Amino acid sequence: MAAQAKHDWADDDDLDEITTELPPPQKIQNKDGSTTIIEYRLNDNGQKVKTTRRIRYITHREVVNPRVAERKSWAKFGASAKDGAGPMPDTTSVGENIIFRPSMNWRKDAKNEDKDPNAQAMKDKLKDKKVKCRICNGEHFTARCPYKDTMAPIGEAAGADVAAGMADDEQSGAAGVGAAGAGKKGSYVPPALRGAGGAAAGAGERMGGKYGERDDLATLRVTNVSEMAEEHELRDLFERFGRVTRVFLAKDRDTGMAKGFAFISFADRGDAVKACAKMDGFGFRHLILRVEFAKKAQ
Amino acid sequence: MRPILLSGHERALTQVKYNREGDLIFSTAKDQQICAWFAHNGERLGTYHGHQGAIWTVDVDPTSTIIASGSADNTIRLWEVKTGKLLKTWDFPTAVKRVEFNEDGTKLLGVTEKRMGHLGTIVVLDIKVDVEAEQSDEKALTIVCDESKATVAGWSYLSKYIIAGHEDGSVSQYDGKNGDLLYNLPVHELNQPITDLQWNHDRTYFITASKDKTAKLISAKDLEVFKTYVADTPLNSAVITPKKDYVILGGGQAAMDVTTTSARQGKFEARFYHKIFEEEIGRVRGHFGPLNTVAADPTGKGYASGGEDGYVRVHQFDKGYFDFMYEVERERQNKLAAQGAGN
């Protein structure tokens, strides 16, 4: 009793481990056809290690030419006469994985890979920079901000509420820009947003668009478009409502398949409103289109 | 895809050949043995010993019973595939650069080097595809190439023609029976040797690779050039892939020129071109030296390449390889499918 009392509780485990024998390996047949093998061993530090392996054997059947099958059973000869069955590591090894996908513009793909060093340098440069949201100052990209639809960027607090509704309504959009332009005296206002009055601001806004003349107000965003869709099909669909000035169908560069969304610009906003109402929920190529007015590009 | 690396040779590869069923690969190199491999896992079946010099070429008969090899020791040898036994040796005055069986394996042609006052020749030997049979010593036919030596040669469909590629970049067509020269056309640039000549599956047309950095698809019947594939490096080998309409070109700067040119690495890649559209559609890297030889699996599932680096790399294609189609090809397929459904 006294001897036992001398043992610290912390030593107890160690004693146990030294005294216990390794349990015998177990083989368990699982219900799903696999086998579980549990083995025990002592590692270099004398610790007990339990290894559990689950193995499933899959028999792969292949029908081959009988002559090919016969050749597989041939005895080896020459320098390989002493080799056992299966590939020998001294003559046969497996190389690193090579990705080979034929492509018409593989040269461009390869070039992108070449550019990688630059991308790496850029990455290194930006490594210490923290991502900061312009809306809420959180650690995420502005585009991912949960408040992006309800709040304007911090610097534009004055026009915040109106700016949010900018794309939906011409009137408020123009006013919003006007407010943003006029509200912040002394701060830099990009040329696209400059202008004193509401009308001028509207004109400036239009010119500031990425594609110059594009009228975002009569542009519809169509989502849930089938992968197989073609631009001309969309044009046919939407032309019924009025003159379509532009159809843009996003396509995957490699596969040439549509990405699932498109933009349709109308010459007249009234037509766009009509098209939006009629085509939202329209069944096209086994998918149901979702049509809404495009948000203004930020 | 994960290539299988076969390192059975100590020196540069000279030729790699699949047998008809695509389950065996034979490789020759400048060391003095031939290796036979299983294509599916890269296991070495055996080696064939007996040559006393660099082995330039190997070919297997359609039944995979015997192989023939040509070597710098001025011999063509015949071996039993299964056991590695030497069956027959033919002696020549100069090195043998190329051997090829005809379609049924009853004839073998050999291309001999022009050297030491001997002109380059193409010889034809009658072969009995039987390991027990006594092979005849006689040459059935000897074609002397007095203008420019032949570097490569092969049998056309039905053994009707012998097609030879020459050192001066021309291709000639000989009658398969009597060896008369029927045509000789300069298809590649003058004095740029033709380095390889391989057939499509029915031997009606073939592809040549040349040091002039192009490969050409040529008709066997009238030597009409169908297609030209332009590469940016001298080519050592070209092959037509079965199943898919591609060609694979192998090349790279000659080993002796590598140090004399800029340090730019590479060009040691297998280049894939679309057979019809003549456009490059991809490359496969891996070798550390120029590719001396490429061979396509007759089942269309893979290809093997042998390089100056002494390795054979055996590739099994991924799904992406089989799926790739040009827009017009896809349209045609859809149309055919629609027609099939309509009927």
**C-alpha distance from A80 to closest chain B C-alpha (Å):** 5
Cβ-proximal residues to A255 (8 Å cutoff; 6+ apart), any chain: none
pLDDT, tens only, A280-295: 888 888 888 888 888 7
Show residues of chain A in contact with B282, CB under 8 Å.
100-103, 106
Contact B327 A256 (CB under 8 A): yes
Q: Name the region of A86 (left: φ>0; alpha: ψ -120 to 50; beta: rest).
A: left
Show residues of chain A in contact with B4, CB under 8 Å.
87, 92-95
pLDDT given for residue A144 in this prediction: 77
Hey, is the C-beta of B272 within 8 angstroms of any chain A C-beta? yes
pLDDT greater at residue A3 or residue A293: A293
Contact map slice: B 1-40 vs A, CB within 8 A? 1-8, 21, 23-24, 33, 37-38
Q: Which of A16-30, A94-108, B221-235, B270-284 has the lowest mean pLDDT?
A: A16-30
pLDDT greater at residue B84 or residue A231: B84
When pLDDT is averaged across residues B16-40 and rounded to a whole number, the result is: 93
Q: What are the beta bridge partners of residue B126?
A: B107
Task: Give the sign of the dihedral formed by CA B323, CA B328, CA B329, CA B332.
Answer: positive
When pLDDT is averaged across residues B212-238 and rounded to a whole number, the result is: 93
Binned at pLDDT 50, 70 and 90, residue A128 comes out as low
Binned at pLDDT 50, 70 and 90, residue A61 comes out as confident
**C-alpha distance from A128 to closest chain B C-alpha (Å):** 34
Cβ-proximal residues to B193 (8 Å cutoff; 6+ apart), any chain: B151, B165, B166, B167, B168, B169, B210, B211
pLDDT given for residue A192 in this prediction: 75
Binned at pLDDT 50, 70 and 90, residue A183 comes out as very low
> What 3 state SS string does chain B have?
CCCEEECCCCCCEEEEEECCCCCEEEEEECCCEEEEEECCCCCEEEEEECCCCCEEEEEECCCCCEEEEEECCCEEEEEECCCCCEEEEEECCCCEEEEEECCCCCEEEEEECCECCECEEEEEEECCCCCCCCCCCCEEEEEEECCCCEEEEEECHHHCEEEEEECCCEEEEEECCCCCEEEEEECCCCCCCEEEEEECCCCCEEEEEECCCEEEEEECCCCCEEEEEECCCCEEEEEECCCCCEEEEEECCCHHHHHHCCCCCCCCCEEEEECCCCCEEEEECCCCCCEEEEEECCCCCEEEEEECCCCEEEEECCHHHHHCCCHHHHHHHHHHHHHHHHC
| C-beta atoms surrounding A130 within 10 Å | 6
**C-alpha distance from A177 to closest chain B C-alpha (Å):** 46
pLDDT greater at residue A152 or residue B180: B180
What's this model's pTM, rounded to 2 decimal places? 0.64
For chain A, list residues whose CB is within 8 angstroms of any CB belonging to chain B.
Answer: 64-65, 67-68, 71-72, 74, 76-81, 83, 86-88, 90-98, 100-104, 106-107, 110, 256
**For chain B, how many structural domains are there in total?**
1
Class of domain A216-293: alpha beta
Show residues of chain A in contact with B318, CB under 8 Å.
100-101
**Average pLDDT of chain A, as a whole number:** 72
CA–CA distance, A164 with A172 (Å, rounded to integer): 9
CATH 3.30.70.330 maps onto chain A at 216-293
CA–CA distance, B292 with B308 (Å, rounded to integer): 6
**Average pLDDT of chain B, as a whole number:** 91
pLDDT given for residue A116 in this prediction: 56
CATH number for the domain including B225?
A: 2.130.10.10
Nearest by CB to A100, from B33, B82, B318: name it: B318
**C-alpha distance from A99 to closest chain B C-alpha (Å):** 6
Domain limits for position B134: 4-342
For chain A, first and last CA: distance in Å?
A: 81
Show residues of chain B in contact with A256, CB under 8 Å.
327
Hey, is the C-beta of B281 within 8 angstroms of any chain A C-beta? yes
Show residues of chain B in contact with A76, CB under 8 Å.
44-46
pLDDT, tens only, A109-120: 666 655 555 665
pLDDT, tens only, B164-199: 999 999 999 999 999 999 999 999 999 899 999 999
pLDDT given for residue B217 in this prediction: 95
When pLDDT is averaged across residues A145-166 and rounded to a whole number, the result is: 56
Contact B84 A78 (CB under 8 A): yes
Q: Which of A10-19, A227-236, B63-72, B308-317 has the lowest mean pLDDT?
A: A10-19
pLDDT given for residue A278 in this prediction: 84
CA–CA distance, B244 with B55 (Å, rounded to integer): 31
Contact B43 A97 (CB under 8 A): no
| C-beta atoms surrounding A291 within 10 Å | 21
Contact A72 B283 (CB under 8 A): no
Q: Which of A182-196, A207-221, B278-292 has the lowest mean pLDDT?
A: A207-221
Show residues of chain B in contact with A92, CB under 8 Å.
4-7, 37, 41-44
Could you report the predicted ipTM of this complex, rounded to two decimals? Answer: 0.77
